[in-house]
Amino acid sequence: MLSSEWIREEALGVGFGACGIARCYPLVEQREFFARWLGEGLHDGLAYLERNIETRFDPARLVSGARTVIVCLVSYNHEAWRSTCAAEIAGRETNDTYEFPKIASYALAQDYHITIREMLERLLGIIRERYPNCSGRSFTDTAPLSEKAWAAEAGLGWIGKHSLLISPQYGSFVLLGEVVIDIEADHYDEPAVHDGCGECRRCLDACPNGAITAPRTLDLRRCISHLSIERPAATFSEHRAVPAEPDALHGWIFGCDICQAVCPHNNCAPRYTNPAFAPRFNPAAISREQWLAIPPDAFEKRFGKTPVARRGLASIRTQLAKR
């Protein structure tokens, strides 16, 4: 039987900020909400979201005989969003000319898939040393597993109105990873039932595209983060939810921090402590002209290990050249 106290200590030891432990069973209510969301077409037709719906909410479909989901959380809050989203935080109209293209905070560090995967694999290795007969797998946005739903189930926080996990300790600038194993734990955390959002609707009101259509209901067809990563070449015409305008991405070339920047739970959230999540560059120091002039080899050298590489230099230049 897995010692919950021991595994928490080990999770902190490999660099996570918090760890929750949930019992494996199908999350029926969360699955039904997700299915309704898909049915309304709010996923913008992303085929991968339509697959393996049952698996997302039942880890036993990923790990045979699964009994326990260990959910680990780490902060990446280096507060770059305070300057990037200063106008939105102050509740005023932005007069930004987009001279310095914007990038979401998480994308300023090394790709978290690499960093967290390494941390999870170390944790899984430690578990196997103590429990040699344990079978399990680790995941960080790399399999059809509903990470936020399982983080809430493990008591790490609640799903905010912007559809992101909010940790009472760290706010929403956090990343998640999971280890699913086939042995029982001696204690399971209580699922998060507290909704700390209350009557607040700052995230809904701040989104310039109105992507948060209702609490915890995100229309990806309008979401700047989604559009800038998955649909950067899309034409915002009649078939799309975003009206045609000079820049429906509002100066963002990768991701978006607006809904998190205005969230009160991030006002006093602590900064990151794990050096692996330190920013590798400052987008506020890279002008539009510099982005347009950077050679491909220099782009690869500077951004190749960050999520920005996924967008690609050619796509970024195409967007910036339109202004």
The catalytic site residues sit at: 141
Question: How far apart are alpha carbons 93 and 182 in whole angstroms?
Answer: 52
**Per DSSP, what are the bridge partners of residue 103?**
254
Question: How far apart are alpha carbons 303 and 267 in whole angstroms?
Answer: 29
Question: How far apart are alpha carbons 156 and 168 in whole angstroms?
Answer: 8
Structure letter (DSSP) for residue 97: -
For the chain, the maximum distance between any two Cα atoms, rounded to a whole number of angstroms, is: 60
Place of tokens 């600038």: 173
Beta strand spans in 158-313 (E): 158-159, 165-166, 174-181, 212-214, 217-218, 252-254
How are beta strands 212-214 and 217-218 bridged, if at all? Answer: antiparallel
Residue 210 identity (one-letter amino acid): G
Q: Is residue 256 within 8 Å of residue 162, measured between CB atoms?
A: no
Going from the C-alpha of 262 to that of each of 35, 109, 140, the distances in angstroms are 29, 22, 26
Question: How far apart are alpha carbons 166 and 176 in whole angstroms?
Answer: 12
Taking Cα atoms as reference points, which of 70, 65, 66 lies closest to residue 18?
70
**Per DSSP, what are the bridge partners of residue 136?**
181
Quick one: which H or E segment has residue 223? none
